[in-house]
């Protein structure tokens, strides 16, 4: 991170090698095309470089910070581009057989994410997927699924709390 | 927006799908409410976990090079207001120096000293700072061999997440220049006034911050038609005249 603050090429490469794949994956899942995913990835790392000084390790992990930037940019774009095709969501898929280097880190993160998702009910999973990966607001989900807005909000909250608890279990702190 | 209303909206906020109008109100609330801020951070962290859930897809190999090239080309240029176009070259110097402060020296190397644990990575911190000062030295040198500069951290008196940095460029042949950056300030206490003072009770106003970005950040720059050599303290006060940030400027490394 220090290198990123100094605009150091090696630091940017290291950050990309660690998070390039999940950022690109998020772009692909939310935006539905390789071109849009590549643009998003570039925008995310540029934004990270510009905002590097604001990253505060005491407020959260680097992965949280970077993936929040990625998600916010992706949702902004998704909601702006009205013609975007909504991708088919695949949360669980074949994992590459022989990960190497920083890919291992991504797979560990993925393992934790899947474990957290496994703690959710089917209804919670569905709502979380619609909000996080399709950029739908609680009101939009309520209208699409014909369920009360309050129920959607309650389920989103309970789902995030379960994920948080799952994270706490894996972090000995 | 009160605490119950904010907490009702925090899940959507954490998932990045809150209404834009709500986002602004929520972030204003989070700027001063520690309890809701903690809840928001926890939910954001939970939401960020989801980012790793989809099966990984491989980006094209050349994307890394494109991104490194894009970052190299990028020149962050946060706006400095009311400096005037006719100051052309000197304005450019301030802008570059200010950008450097934001990107590498002020909020990076200098503020980084406070952010990073002091004991565990001394060599990394020293390298970071050396690198930032070297870049800073080159920028100042490009403005002229006699140009001098001083930099300083701005800190609050209490345990609040406010911070800032200041840069003064002193030129023997022209107007001197001041750039101040702040971060994490609560909007509710603004507008904020910035002044630079000497050791004899004289103060020169640098500017008024009327707008903060969503993270409580802003930058203000001013060209001042006087010698600022003796002006070594920067003070930021809130709307009620209370000091929120202050700091002493230290000479930057020699430019020769």
pLDDT averaged over 10-residue windows placed end to end, chain B, 256 residues: 90 87 84 88 88 86 89 53 34 44 42 36 46 51 61 82 82 70 88 86 84 84 75 89 87 47
Please, which residues have CB within 8 angstroms of residue B17's CB and are 6 or more apart in sequence?
A: A75, A131, A132, A135, A136, A137, A138
Q: Does residue B4 belong to the interface with chain A, where contact is any CB pair within 8 Å?
A: no
- Tokens representing B94? 């301030």
* Token pair recorded at residue A57: 């390790």
**Looking at the complex, does the CB of residue A57 fall below 8 Å from at least one CB of chain B?**
yes
Q: Nearest Cα to B67, choosing from A163, A125, A17, A145?
A: A17
Alpha-carbon gap, residue B71 to A43, rounded angstroms:
10
In angstroms, the CA A112 to CA A128 distance is: 16
Return the top range by mean pLDDT from A37-41, A49-53, B88-92: A37-41
H or E stretch covering B157: none
pLDDT of residue B249: 79
Q: How many Cβ atoms sit within 10 Å of the Cβ of residue B101? A: 28
> Which residue in A6, A53, A157 is closest to B102 by CB distance?
A53
Owner of token pair 């460029």: B169
Residue owning tokens 């050396």: B130
Mean pLDDT of chain A: 78
d(CA B145, CA B153): 25
pLDDT digits (tens, 9 = 90+) for A86-144: 443 444 333 333 344 455 666 777 888 888 899 999 999 999 999 998 888 899 999 99
Q: Over the range A52-67, which residues count as b (16 or more CB within 10 Å of their CB) and which as e?
A: bbbbeeeebeebbbbb
- Domains of chain B listed by start with CATH number: 1-74 (1.10.10), 78-251 (2.60.40)
Looking at A6-10, A76-80, B61-65, B116-120, which range is the least confident one? B116-120
What is the distance of C-alpha A54 from the center of its chain? 20
Contacts of B43 in chain A (CB under 8 A): 157, 160-161, 164
The answer to whether A24 contacts chain B (CB < 8 Å) is yes
Say if domain A1-88 classifies as CATH 1.10.3720.10. no
> Can you give the pLDDT at residue A156?
95
Residue B105: other Cβ atoms inside 10 A: 29
Residue A113 at interface with chain B, using a CB cutoff of 8 Å = yes
Q: Report the half-sphere exposure of A59 (CA within 13 A, side-chain side).
A: 15
Give the integer Cα–Cα distance in Å for A74 and A135.
9
Every domain of chain A and the residues it spans = 1-88
Rounded to two decimals, the ipTM of the complex is 0.77
Cβ <8 Å between A91 and B54: yes
Instruction: Outline where B104-142 has alpha helix (H).
Output: 111-115, 122-142
């Amino acid at each position: 991170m220090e290198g990123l603050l100094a605009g150091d090429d090696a630091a940017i490469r290291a950050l990309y090698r660690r998070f390039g794949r999940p950022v690109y994956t998020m772009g692909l899942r939310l935006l539905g095309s390789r071109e849009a995913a590549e643009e998003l990835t570039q925008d995310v790392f540029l934004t990270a470089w510009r905002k590097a000084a604001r990253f505060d390790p005491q407020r959260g992990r680097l992965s949280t910070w970077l993936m929040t930037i990625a998600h916010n940019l992706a949702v902004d774009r998704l909601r702006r581009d009205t013609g975007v095709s909504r991708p088919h969501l695949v949360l669980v898929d074949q994992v590459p057989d022989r990960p190497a280097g920083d890919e291992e880190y991504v797979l560990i993160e993925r393992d934790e994410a899947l474990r957290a998702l496994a703690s959710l009910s089917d209804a919670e999973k569905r709502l979380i997927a619609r909000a996080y990966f399709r950029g739908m607001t609680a009101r939009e989900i309520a209208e699409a699924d014909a369920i009360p807005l309050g129920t959607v909000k309650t389920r989103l909250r309970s789902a995030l709390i379960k994920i948080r608890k799952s994270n706490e279990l894996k972090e000995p702190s | 927006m009160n605490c119950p209303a904010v907490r009702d909206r925090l899940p959507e906020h954490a998932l990045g799908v809150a209404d834009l109008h709500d986002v602004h109100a929520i972030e204003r609330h989070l700027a001063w409410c520690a309890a809701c801020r903690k809840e928001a951070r926890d939910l954001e962290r939970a939401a960020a976990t989801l980012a790793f859930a989809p099966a990984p897809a491989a980006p094209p190999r050349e994307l890394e090079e494109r991104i490194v090239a894009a970052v190299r080309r990028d020149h962050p240029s946060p706006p400095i207001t009311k400096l005037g176009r006719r100051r052309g070259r000197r304005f450019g110097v301030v802008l570059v120096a200010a950008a450097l402060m934001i990107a590498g020296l002020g909020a990076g190397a200098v503020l980084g000293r406070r952010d990073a644990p002091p004991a565990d990575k001394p060599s990394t911190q020293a390298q970071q700072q050396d690198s930032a000062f070297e870049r800073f030295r080159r920028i100042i040198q490009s403005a002229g061999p006699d140009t001098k500069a001083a930099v300083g951290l701005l800190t609050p008196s209490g345990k609040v997440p406010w911070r800032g940095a200041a840069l003064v460029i002193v030129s023997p042949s022209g107007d001197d220049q001041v750039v101040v950056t702040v971060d994490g300030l609560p909007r509710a206490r603004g507008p904020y006034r910035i002044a630079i003072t000497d050791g004899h009770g004289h103060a020169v106003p640098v500017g008024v911050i009327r707008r903060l970005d969503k993270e409580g950040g802003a930058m203000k720059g001013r060209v001042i038609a006087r010698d600022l050599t003796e002006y070594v303290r920067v003070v930021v006060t809130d709307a009620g005249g209370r000091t929120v940030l202050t700091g002493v400027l230290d000479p930057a490394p020699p430019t020769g």
